[in-house]
Structure 1
C-alpha cells in the first residue's frame, strides 16, 4: 500500500476565511509598474473565488461586498505579468494598489515558443490537468491555442503554460474557470504531477431550473469528501461527524529485510563480502506502508495557537483519510486501500485518500483551505480529482445531513 501511482500537488496560492455573513469593502487601482499610469479595463479578481471586476478608464476597481477573510487579489492585463497582493478583508473598507510589470522579453532573455498543437502531449496534459472523473469528462478547454505544451527528452518532463489564461468550461458544475499564470509539470519517470496558478470562477447561466438543480447537486457531491471538506472538519473538530476516518500510515522496511539489517548491524565482527552485499540489497528494497487502524485523535491532527485564533494541520508520518459519505467515482479504477484489520466489517461505500505533510505543520483557514498549499501532497482518491472537480473557495456547501455511521476501529491509537 502507498501513494497512488500518480502523485498530485495542486497549488492555488489563495484562501478564503470566515463567514459570508461578515463582509467588507475592497477597492483600489491598477497601474503600470514603471510609469504608474492607470491601466484601463484590466481584470482584477480574488483568486479561486467567483469575485471579479474590470477596472474603469482611470484604472480603478471596487468590490463592495467581500466576505471577511484572507485573499490573493490579482490583476491581469494583456502584455503584463500578473500582479498579486495578499490582503485580509475585515469589516472596515480598505484600498490596494496593484502594479503589473511588462511581460516583454528582457535583455538576455531567451524566449522559446513551443508548438501548442502537439496532439499527444496536449491530450496527456488535458487528462492530467482536468482529470478523468465523471465531472472532468464534462469539461473542455475553450482556448486550446493559448496553451503551450512541450516535452523535454532529457528531464522526462511534460510542461504546459499560458501567456494569459486557460479557460475551462465545466458543464458538470456550471462554472467557467479562467486559470491565470498556469505552470504545469508532469514527470514521466516519477509520474508526479504539479501545477499552480491563479484561478477565478464565473457561474454559468443554466438553460432551465432543472440544469441549475443538477449543478447544485453536482457541486455538493464535489465538495463532500474533498480535501477542503476534510480540512474544514479538522478545523471545526468534526472529523467523525462529517463522515471521515483519519488513520496513521508508517513506511517501514519489509520484515525480512528489517530482521536481516538488525542482525547485521549488531554483529561484533567485521562483515564478510557476502554480508555486505546482502546489507546493500536490503537497504535498496522498497519500504512498505503499515496502516494503524485506530482513528487518530483530533490532537494528533491539529494544533491550536495559544490565543485560540489559528489552527494548524500537524501529524506524523502519513495520513490515510477515508470518507464514508459517497461511493467513489465510477471512473476510479484503482483498488481501494484497506481501512481496518483483516476480517473487520467495513463499509464498501468509501473514498480512501492519502495525505503527506511536507512541513512540520501548516495553517488551516476556517473554510478548509491552507495558508500554504505547497505544504501538502495528496495521493490515491484525492490525487484522482483535478480541475474538473474544483470548486471556488466562496462556495457554500448545503446544510449537513445525516452521515453514514463510521466503523468502530480499535480503541487504542498507535
Structure 2
C-alpha cells in the first residue's frame, strides 16, 4: 500500500503584493496586568517576527491578508490569534497565562521506546530527502509523544516551539505542533501547527547556495502549484493536470467470499496434514484464495486528456479561490525530474505511462469539497486534501516560508 499524507501549515494566509503594509500593534501583559517585555510575536508560515519592548509594546507591518499570530514567552502558555488585515491599522492587546506545567514533568518520562519514536517522527515530519539529511532537531525534549498499541497510532505535540536547524536551505524553523499523527493501519500522516522561519547566518557563498536550493525546493511544490493555479499560470509554470480514476476491481471476489473460502480450505489443510495427505505447492485452493485476498481492491485508470485549470478553480471572494474536482488529480511537474533517492524508495512512486519521462508526479485526493486557497498557495482548510507521490515525500526539510519569492529565471 502506498503511504498517504496530509500536509498542513495551519496558516490561513493571503498577501496582496501590490498593497502597502498595515500596522498591527498592541501591548502584551499577564493576567495581573503586568507588561511582558521580550515576548515574541510570530507570524505563522512566514519570516516575520518581532519582540515586545520594555513596555510590552509590539508592532508589525503586514500586507492585507489573513494571518495566524503566535504570542510566546518562557513560562507562559502560547496564545494564538487569527486576524484579517484590510486597509486600517489594527490594535490587538494580548494577555498571556502562566504555564504551571513544568517541562520535565511533561516530556522527560522513562520510556525505552522514546528514541525509536523520535526517529520515526523525524522521518515522517522532517522527511527522508537529501535536504532532510542536513536537518537537526535542536530540542527533541519538547516532544510530547504517545503511541497507542490498540490504534497503532503515533501522536506527537509540543507545548512550545520545536526548533529545527535546516543547513540545506539555511533556515532555523520554529514549529509549534498542535498535532502530528501517524496511523500505522492506514499509512496516513497528518500534522498541523504554527511554523515560523528565520534565516541562518552564513558566508556569501553559503547564502548564494541556500538561495539556489530554496528555489529548487519551492518549484514544483504543492504551494507552487496552488499559487500558480490562483494566478491562472499553472501550465506556464510547468504543471500539467490529468485525472486518475479509481474504481473497484470487479474481477476481485468480495472479502466475505474470500474469507469464507480461506477458512474452509485452512480447516481442510489442517485436517489433511494431520493425516499426511496434503502438499501445498502454490497451485492448491488455499494458495489461490490467499492470492485473491492480496489483490488490490481498486484499479486505477489514467486519463491523459489535459484538465484545464479554469474547470477546477473558481473565485470565492477577492482574496480566496476554491478548487473542486472529481476523482483524483494527477499533477505532473515538467520542469524537474524526480530525485534518484525518491525513485529508490518502495511504495512512494506513482505509476506512469512508459512514454512519460521521470517528471515529478503527485496526486491530490479531495477529502472535503472544495479546497479554499490563497494567492501564496496557502490552504484555508488543509484537511481537505491528501497527497500521494512526490509531495508526500517532501516535508518540512523541503519547505520554504509562505512569503518566499522565487528567483527570476537566469538569476
Q: Could you say which TM-score interval applies, normalised by the shorter chain? A: 0.7 to 0.9
Q: How much has 1:257 moved relative to structure 2? A: 4.6
Partner of 1:292: 303
Cα RMSD, aligned residues only: 2.7
Aligned to 2:407, the other structure's residue is in SS state: coil
Q: CA deviation at 1:76?
A: 1.4
Whole-Å Cα distance in 1 between the matches of residues 244 and 33 of structure 2?
53
Q: Where does 1:349-388 land on structure 2 (aligned, <5 Å)? A: 349-388=358-397
Over 3 Å counting, the alpha-carbon distance change for 1:48 and 1:371 in structure 2 is same
Q: Counterpart in 2 of 1:143?
A: 139
Closer/same/farther in 2, CA of residues 100 and 286 from structure 1, 3 Å limit: farther
Number of the residue aligned with 1:301: 312
Indicate if the aligned counterparts of 1:354 and 1:378 stay in contact, CA closer than 8 A: yes
1:337 and 2:350 aligned:
yes
Deviations 1:12-58 (A, max 9, x none): 121432244422221122233x4444333211111111111111233
Equivalent residue, structure 2, for 1:40: 37
Is 1:223 aligned to 2:223, yes or no? no
Tell whether 2:238 aligns with 1:243.
Answer: yes
Equivalent in the alignment of 1:166: 162
Structure 2 vs 1, CA of residues 289 and 80 (structure 1 numbering), >3 Å: closer, same or farther? farther
Q: Which residue is 1:397 aligned to? A: 406
CA-CA distance at 1:119 after TM superposition: 1.7
Residue equivalent to 1:324: 334
The number of equivalent residue pairs is 366
Cα deviation for residue 80 of structure 1 reads: 3.0
Return the TM-score normalized by structure 2.
0.81
The Cα shift of 1:198 comes to 0.8
Within 5 Å, give how 1:259-278 maps onto structure 2.
none
Q: How far 1:7 moved relative to its partner?
A: 1.6
Return 226-235 or 10-19, whichever deviates more: 10-19
Shift of 1:319: 1.0
Distance 1:159-1:242 versus aligned 2 partners, 3 A rule: same
Q: Pairwise mapping of residues 26-65 of structure 1 onto structure 2 (< 5 A)? A: 26-32=24-30, 34-63=31-60, 65=61
Partner of 2:184: 188
Asked if structure 1 preserves the Cα contact closer than 8 Å seen for 2:178 and 2:193, the reply is yes
Q: What SS is found at the alignment partner of 2:402?
A: coil
TM-score (norm 1): 0.81
Counterparts of 1:150 and 1:190, CA distance in 2: 18
> In the alignment, is the contact (CA less than 8 A) between 2:166 and 2:173 conserved in 1?
yes
Partner of 1:271: none
Seen in structure 2, the aligned counterparts of structure 1 residues 7 and 337 have a Cα distance that, compared at 3 Å, is closer
Tell whether the 8 Å contact from 1:115 to 1:150 is kept in structure 2 after alignment: no
Q: 1:302 to 1:46 in 2, by over 3 A?
A: same
Deviation, structure 1 residue 336: 4.0
CA drift of 1:297 comes to 1.4
| Structure 2 residues without counterparts, runs of 5 or longer | 255-288
- Provide the rounded CA distance (Å) in 2 between the counterparts of 1:201 and 1:61: 19
Within 2, Cα distance between the matches of 1:204 and 1:11? 24
Aligned-residue offset at 1:249: 1.6
- Residues 15 and 309 of structure 1, relative CA distance in 2, 3 Å threshold: closer
